[in-house]
Amino acid sequence: MPANLPPEYFKAEERYLQAKTVEEKILATQELIRIAPKHKGTEKLLKVLKRRLAKLRLELRKQQTRRVGGGPSFHVKKEGAAQVALVGMPNSGKSMLLRRLTSAQPEVAEYPFTTREPVPGMMEFEDVQIQLVEVPALIEGSNRGRGLGAQPLSVARNADAIALIVDASSDPLEQMEILLAELEKAGIKLNQRPPKLSIQRQATGGIEVRGIRMFKGERSELKRILQEQRIHNAVVIIEEPITAEELEDVLDESSVYRRAITIANKGDMAGEGDGFEKLQQAYGGRFPTILVSAANGDNLAKLKELIFESLNVVRVYTKRPDEEPARRPLVLPKSSTVLDAAEAIHKEFARDLKFARVWGSTRFAGQQVPRDYVLRDKDIVEIHI
């Protein structure tokens, strides 16, 4: 069967051939996979592309480990409780914000692309440290190598959460649309969650599927997708409706799911009708949005709080019986249990855990709780082994 590839496909292929870095090759290959029509005639092609993508990812991982401690790199080593990428178009004020929120001192200037490499800085929020990284500017077409190329996107992809920065004084809605389109093309999904699905690999027994009714496609297609990922023996549990495409996305890791907020900067210059309201209306439901000014400091305390909230974590102070609680909290994903906290300290702690006492979210101070007790922000937990 002929593949009937659309003209965009050949353009993307050209970009792949021109790509100089592994990151750019990855993005181009992802785009090829997205563009290629999905039918019998393109099955082989898709297989080749996916294999190429897997190889490129491996290469990138190797490069990144090699680069640690080496020369200049786009990969920013994570420090602190989490890494948040500041992503925006040129001149939106990313550097000025970073200077305000951390002790980093990137150059601030009125010409575009002042920042050409990612700049990390540590933000203190109460008793946690959150790493912010200014990502070099995105523009329409970054994904295809325009502007500073696709490397900024790979930095964003690597962060734990994303802050979208727009200039509130010049059509923030349009900037937002461009940013979202670029991130989407790079497979970065914001404030969405991956479909609920679990795959338990087995040594033998072929493929067993539970919840097949929720797969919106042919059974043979499901098999093909699993085989392409070299999954031959597994129990697949589908817990909510999923299409073939979504399944492919989840499996080939081309999609990452990140939490995100919107920071509308230059609030000092934004007048009525400059578009902040429209931005709120269009995207406020999907992204917590805040109007700030890096120049005069407006709303920055609130912003720090919003950044912390965007991480969806809790702080937990562990203690031993008859001792004071730790000064620095453990930072754990929301809905972590006592057992998760014990595990974060040490594997053995988790293994030997008998019970815990909690101060904070419990009805009584120091109440005894079981190991599956869900901890809340600022709980103190005393582990008994």
Ligand X SMILES: Nc1nc2c(ncn2[C@@H]2O[C@H](COP(=O)(O)OP(=O)(O)OP(=O)(O)O)[C@@H](O)[C@H]2O)c(=O)[nH]1
Least Å distance, CB 106 to Mg ion, is 5
Q: Which residue is nearest to ligand X (CB)?
A: 93
Q: Which does 233 bind (CB under 5 to 8 A by kind): ligand X, Mg ion, none?
A: none
| Among residues 29, 42, 83, 92, the one that binds ligand X under rule CB under 6 A | 92
113 is a site residue for ligand X (CB under 6 A): yes
In this chain, which stretch among 1-9, 107-115, 124-132, 361-369 interacts with ligand X, using CB under 6 A?
A: 107-115
Please measure the distance between the N-terminal and C-terminal CA atoms of the chain and give it in whole angstroms: 65
Check binding of 93 to ligand X (CB under 6 A): yes
Residue 134-173 contact track with ligand X, rule CB under 6 A, x = bound: ---x------------------------------------
Binding segment (CB under 6 A) for ligand X, from list 14-22, 105-113, 178-186, 348-356 = 105-113
User: Which residue number, 114 or 362, has a Cβ lying nearer to ligand X?
Assistant: 114
- Among the listed residues 114, 129, 361, 362, the single contact to ligand X using CB under 6 A: 114
Contact between 74 and 148 under an 8 Å Cβ cutoff? The reply is: no
- What are the backbone dihedrals phi and psi of residue 215, each rounded to the nearest 5 degrees, phi first? -85, 120
CB of 116 to Mg ion, least distance (A): 9
Q: How far apart are CA 282 and CA 228, in angstroms?
A: 39
Tell me the closest approach of the beta carbon of residue 262 to Mg ion, in angstroms.
18
In whole angstroms, the minimum distance from the beta carbon of 78 to ligand X comes to 21
Question: Half-sphere exposure (CA, 13 Å, Cβ side) for 158?
Answer: 22
Instruction: State the minimum distance, in angstroms, from the CB of residue 134 to ligand X.
Output: 6
> Residue 109 binds what, of ligand X, Mg ion, none (CB under 5 to 8 Å, by partner type)?
ligand X
Give the residue with the Cβ less far from Mg ion, 42 or 92. Answer: 92
Binding to ligand X (CB under 6 A): which residues in 243-302? 265-266, 268-269, 293-295
Write the secondary structure of the chain as one string of H (helix), E (strand) and C (coil).
CCCCCCHHHHHHHHHHHHCCCHHHHHHHHHHHHHHCCCCHHHHHHHHHHHHHHHHHHHHHHHHHHHHCCCCCCCCCCCCCCCEEEEEECCCCCHHHHHHHHCCCCCCCCCCCCCCCCCEEEEEEECCEEEEEEECCCCCCCHHHCCCCCCHHHHHHHHCCEEEEEEECCCCHHHHHHHHHHHHHHCCEEECCCCCCEEEEECCCCCEEEECHHHEECCHHHHHHHHHHCCCCCEEEEECCCEEHHHHHHHHCCCCEEEEEEEEEECCCCCCCCCCHHHHHHHHCCCCCEEECCCCCCCCHHHHHHHHHHHCCEEEEEEECCCCCCCCCCEEEECCCEHHHHHHHHCHHHHHHCCEEEEECCCCCCCEEECCCCECCCCEEEEEEC
Interface ranges with Mg ion (CB under 5 A)? 94-95, 114-115
Give me the least distance between CB of 293 and ligand X, in Å please.
4
In angstroms, give the least distance from the CB of 137 to ligand X.
3
β-strand pairing of 330-333 with 313-319:
antiparallel
Nearer to ligand X, 58 or 109 (CB): 109
Instruction: Based on the shown chain and the rule CB under 6 A, indicate whether residue 50 belongs to the binding site for ligand X.
Output: no
Among 15, 50, 94, 357, binds ligand X (CB under 6 A): 94
Q: Which of 15/94 has CB closer to ligand X?
A: 94
Do residues 54 and 22 lie in contact, with contact meaning Cβ atoms separated by under 8 Å?
A: no
* Minimum distance, C-beta of residue 294 to ligand X, in the bound complex (Å): 4
Q: Which stretch binds ligand X (CB under 6 A): 7-15, 85-93, 204-212, 313-321?
A: 85-93
| Spacing of C-alpha 32 from chain mean position | 22
Residues 169 and 266: beta-carbon distance below 8 Å: yes
CB of 64 to Mg ion, least distance (A): 23
* Residue 238: contacted member of ligand X, Mg ion, none (CB under 5 to 8 Å, by partner type): none
Cβ proximity to ligand X: between 10 and 113 the closer is: 113
* Count of residues that interact with ligand X, criterion CB under 6 A: 23
Contacting positions for ligand X (CB under 6 A): 88, 90-96, 108-110, 112-115, 137, 265-266, 268-269, 293-295
